[in-house]
């Protein structure tokens, strides 16, 4: 597998699909793009994305709050925003812990 050091890329995923499933490289890359696009659109629509045995991409709406500039100590309002977190499944946590 042609992996970038420390990073799994779209091309790496497509290469795996190409080798293991027999799709052409172009078809494999299209498939990866389609899946990631579908996940991204779901999150843009406010949906969480759960991949069984892997983990969940969870959206949270944060309310406005007061923060502090660490250099000056001046209080500033932090605007409300939506954040995304990833929660690994128990199965993935166990696999990562084994190394």
Locate the domains of the chain by residue range. 8-46, 48-99
Asked whether residue 14 carries a pLDDT value surpassing 70, the answer given is yes
Instruction: Tell the CATH superfamily of the 48-99 domain.
Output: IHF-like DNA-binding proteins (4.10.520.10)
User: Which of the four pLDDT bands, split at 50, 70 and 90, describes residue 3?
Assistant: low
Express each pLDDT in 28-73 by its tens digit: 999 999 999 999 999 999 999 999 999 999 999 999 999 999 999 9
Q: Compute the distance between CA of residue 84 and CA of residue 70 in angstroms, rounded to an integer.
A: 24
pTM above 0.95, yes or no: no
DSSP secondary structure, 26-49, as one string: HHHHHHHHHHHHHHHHHHHTT--E
pLDDT of residue 12: 93
């Amino acid at each position: 597998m042609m992996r970038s050091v420390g990073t799994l890329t779209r091309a790496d995923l497509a290469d795996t699909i190409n080798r293991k499933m027999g799709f052409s490289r172009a078809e494999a890359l299209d498939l990866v793009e389609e899946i990631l696009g579908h996940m991204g659109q779901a999150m843009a629509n406010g949906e969480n994305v759960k991949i069984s045995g892997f983990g969940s991409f969870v959206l949270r709406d944060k309310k406005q709050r007061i923060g502090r500039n660490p250099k000056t100590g001046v209080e500033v309002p932090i605007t409300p925003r939506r954040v995304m977190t990833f929660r690994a499944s128990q199965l993935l946590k166990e696999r990562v812990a084994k190394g």
